[in-house]
Structure 1
Amino acid sequence: MRTGPRSAAAAILGIVAGCAAPPGERPAPVDDARPQPPVTDSRARPTPPAPALAGPVIERPGARWVAVSWSELPGWADDRSAELWPALRAGCIKPTPEWIGVCQRAARFTPADHGFAREFLQQELQPYRVEARDGTAQGLATGYFEPLIAASRRPRPGFTVPLYRPPADLGERRPYWTRQQLETLPAARQALRGLEIAYVASPLDVLVLQIQGSGRLRLVEPDGRERELRLAFAAHNDQPYRSVGRWLIEQGELRADAASWPAIRDWGQRATPQRLNEMLWSNPRVVFFREEALTPDVSGQPSGPKGAQGVPLTAGRSVAVDPSAVPYGTPLWLDTTEPLSSTPLRRLVMAQDTGGAITGAVRIDYFWGTGETAEQQAGRMKQPLRLWALWPKPPA
């Protein structure tokens, strides 16, 4: 996302955040002579191309892509492929030169059904198996989410822990005060006075917002009325990120195979105040926020937070990647499984974000969306992964 951290709760042992670029502009219209798919008649479809043979390779700084036939993609015919279109159109806001033509054609219609969407993609794109430079094609899928947390504009019983805007002297002191100093030293506390955005119930709520780098607040007014706003990453204190999950393992409080975000939250809720502070202060990094209005997506629901590509993320259809291996705006085919199960998770997604813990060729962080269910899924996701990239065919 932005210029500082966002991380995946499932990668809690090494989590740091991604950085988002400013949103781009839609490309100017492009004159393209290729026939356009019809908008309303699902019976008149483009003829699927013959399967491409494996062979040609695209070398990227962090990966190699090997061209394959569509038949290699497991479950390809079973995905609800038309659901990719909002994420695809968002990713086309600022396309690279290779994508301008495809983006212009995809923007001119809405798929009549999932089969039509698949056939359009097969006509336009070539699948590539994503591998590490040494040929390794197995990797790791984790998950992340957007927290949704109850808050109050003013401190009151049940809402006493503040979230802050960046302090005025942040650029004058590098690194800035640590988390512990900001909570205990009078001079450090004074620097934050008057910068409170809102108050939440627990320092664990602050921690998860800072780990994820953004989130939504459900502001609860004293009269019971509610409204939502988004907190976006604004800055951090230039201190190193330390994993609280790693600290709990080193303290013997959690097993390495059980250090998920739900387990960490559960431990924190049972810990004494002193012990909870020890865990929180083990991570000196503090994130500061800014407010953002919630804008509606095409369905009228609040859009997702912006990822590193500078476009809103789509739940279940956006992922974070290592951009040295997969450029932003690339459609990907995932072959992985649901958290804590062997249920296949095979679907089209868009590479629209990154994160400090997301490194390597066959490595993605899957955006589950907003709220408690997304938190549970993301916090437990650590699954084996195979990955294919879909890239525009060269001009005929």
Structure 2
Amino acid sequence: MPRLLSSLLLLALLAGCSQPALRPTADAAPVGACAPCPVCQACPLPEVPKPPEKPLQGAAWSDLPGWSEAPAEDLAASFDAFRASCNGLARQPLWQDACTAARGAAREQAGFDPRAWFEAHFQPWVLVNPDGGREGLVTGYYEPLVRGSRNRSKRYDVPVFGPPEDMITVDLSSLYPELKNLRLRGRIEGRKLVPYYSRAEWSLQENQRAKNALLWVSDPVDFFFLQIQGSGQVQLSDGNRIRIGYADQNGHPYRSIGRWLIDRGELKADQASMQGIRQWAESNPGRLQELLNANPSLVFFRELPVTGNGPPGALGVPLTPERSIAVDRRATPLGAPVWLDTTQPLSDTPLRRLMLAQDTGGAIRGPVRADFYWGSGSEAGTRAGRMKQKGRMWTLLPRGYAPDQGEAP
């Protein structure tokens, strides 16, 4: 028996030589040092984590799939969208020269070559994920149209709120520059700043806050999807139409209600589209609030006039249908042209187009990630709801500029 125990102990000690010991030694070894195997006295070399890849890496025009074959009229439409972006970019040093050139270009004259213009003023940079992958997710969004009223009634009983007075927003970059573009939302409770109300907590207060509603809409599911899109149009009962746009958010993270339904076995993955979610809600009216509360994020709005082709994006200029995308501004600067290589919704048909990074979104995270703006109305909504494609992206930056590899300007 002692001989058996000794053999087992020896095997255990030898086995320890094949794996690094994760705890430090018990004597004077520095914290983090491995405990050498007592038999072979070897200390395995620790694995050094690979540093994340730079999000923007140099590329050539020939790297862009379909660039040389893109129709001139298609690139001309993208040029127009870039020139519109200059309304929000012209004062930024990075874009001054390109915007001056765009405004001075003879776009309307015969012989204008938009491909040559972009190649003369920009240099492509391929977007790369931290793990080195160059492929990411491309989804779609649109501007919903819902029915509403200035006054509450039995038909119009879903409130639309502006930013509440008791919500405090702290711009963290003013204290910590490394936290650029991050804001903290909360409320005062006693002498403490605590997280602001979640969707579920807010829903319990809506009747008390009803007097502060901007307007009222008829369908809670329609309005929920409008919140996800960030803006929309409201057809009022008096015949007028207005636009409501993103004003602020409660600070809670976005959670997919489609994923919530899948995880609980309520829907299969291929059923969790906007249409599938709507059908589930119609079949389960008693669980509607439970479904909506699965997403704690809540969006507050402001009223806007109905002008331009689309709502204003994060850049402050109206979005252009099928030319604007939402991006992660930590990798792609707002206003930049972006060559997108993806496919049509639910299809293998190539969709290669020069887009403009004119918007951002709470769910748009990562260098190779885009949200494709399809436009307004139900047809655009159908396309957006079906779009979940793989894609690659190249950001075009002014010639002579070498981007800071930590984050976009």
TM-score range, shorter chain: 0.7 to 0.9
Find the counterpart in structure 1 of residue 99 from structure 2: 103
The runs of 4+ residues in structure 1 deviating greater than 4 Å are 111-115
Q: For residues 152-231 of structure 1, what are the structure 2 equivalents within 5 Å?
A: 152-171=149-168, 172-173=187-188, 174-184=194-204, 188-221=205-238, 226-231=239-244
Contact persistence 2:53–2:129 (CA under 8 A): no
Q: C-alpha distance in 1, partners of 2:199/2:258?
A: 17
8 Å Cα contact 1:81-1:115 kept in structure 2: no
- Displacement after TM superposition at 1:82 (Å): 0.8
SS in 2 for 1:107: helix
Q: Would the alpha carbon gap of residues 155 and 359 (structure 1) be closer, same or farther in structure 2, given more than 3 Å must change?
A: same
Residue 366 (str. 1) matches residue 383 (str. 2): no
Change (3 A) 1:178 1:373: same
Aligned-residue offset at 1:111? 4.5
Are residues 1:381 and 2:393 paired?
A: no
* SS state at 1:253 partner: coil
Q: Give, as a single letter, the amino acid of the residue that structure 2 aligns with 1:179.
A: R
Deviation at 1:366, TM superposition (A): 0.8
Q: Structure 2 residue aligned with 1:291, among 293, 303, 316?
A: 303
Percent identity over paired residues = 43
* Counterpart Cα distance in 2 of 1:189 and 1:114: 59
Quick one: distance in 1 between partners of 2:325 and 2:134? 18
Q: 1:73 aligns with which of 65, 69, 80?
A: 65
CA contact (8 A) 1:329 1:351 kept: yes
With normalisation by structure 1, the TM-score equals: 0.74
Tell me the TM-score normalised to structure 2 length: 0.72
Partner of 2:125: 128
Query: Do 2:144 and 2:226's aligned partners in 1 also have CA atoms closer than 8 Å?
Result: yes
Contact 2:64 2:394 survives alignment (8 Å): no
Note if contact 2:61-2:67 (Cα within 8 Å) is conserved in structure 1. Answer: no
RMSD: 2.5
Partner amino acid, structure 2, of 1:249: I
Which deviations, in whole Å up to 9, do the C-alpha atoms of 1:133-165 show, x marking residues without a partner?
554222221111111112122234532222122
Unaligned stretches of 5+ residues in structure 2: 1-51, 169-186, 189-193, 402-409
1:40 is aligned to: none
Conserved 8 A contact 2:242-2:305: yes
| Equivalence for 2:38 | none
Question: Any conservation in 2 of the 1:179–1:281 contact (CA below 8 Å)?
Answer: yes
Contact 1:149 1:216 in 2 (8 A): yes
**How far off its partner does 1:200 sit?**
1.6
d(CA) in 1 for partners of 2:277, 2:110: 42
Counterparts in 2 of 1:312 and 1:252: CA distance versus 1, 3 Å: same
Q: Are the aligned partners of 1:81 and 1:348 in contact in 2 as well (CA < 8 Å)?
A: yes
Q: Does 1:147 align with 2:144?
A: yes
* 8 Å Cα contact 1:166-1:195 kept in structure 2: no
Larger displacement relative to structure 2 (281-290 or 322-331): 281-290
Code of the residue aligned with 2:80 in structure 1: it is: P
**Judging changes above 3 Å, is the alpha-carbon distance between structure 1 residues 253 and 97 closer, same or farther for their aligned structure 2 residues?**
same
Aligned mates of 1:293, 1:311 — CA distance in 2: 13
- Rounded Cα–Cα distance in structure 1 between residues aligned with 2:140 and 2:207: 37
Q: In the alignment, what sits opposite 1:321?
A: 327
Counterparts of 1:256 and 1:62, CA distance in 2? 33
Indicate whether 1:252 and 2:265 are aligned. yes
Assess, with a 3 A threshold, how the Cα gap between structure 1 residues 252 and 62 changes in structure 2: closer, same or farther. farther
- Correspondence list, 1:49-64, <5 A: 63-64=55-56
SS of the aligned residue for 1:92 comes to helix
Q: Retained in 2: the 8 A contact 1:145–1:378?
A: yes
Counterpart contact for 1:62–1:325, Cα < 8 Å: no
- Aligned partner of residue 77 in structure 1, secondary structure: coil
Secondary structure of the 1:194 match is helix
**1:13-28 aligned within 5 A:** none
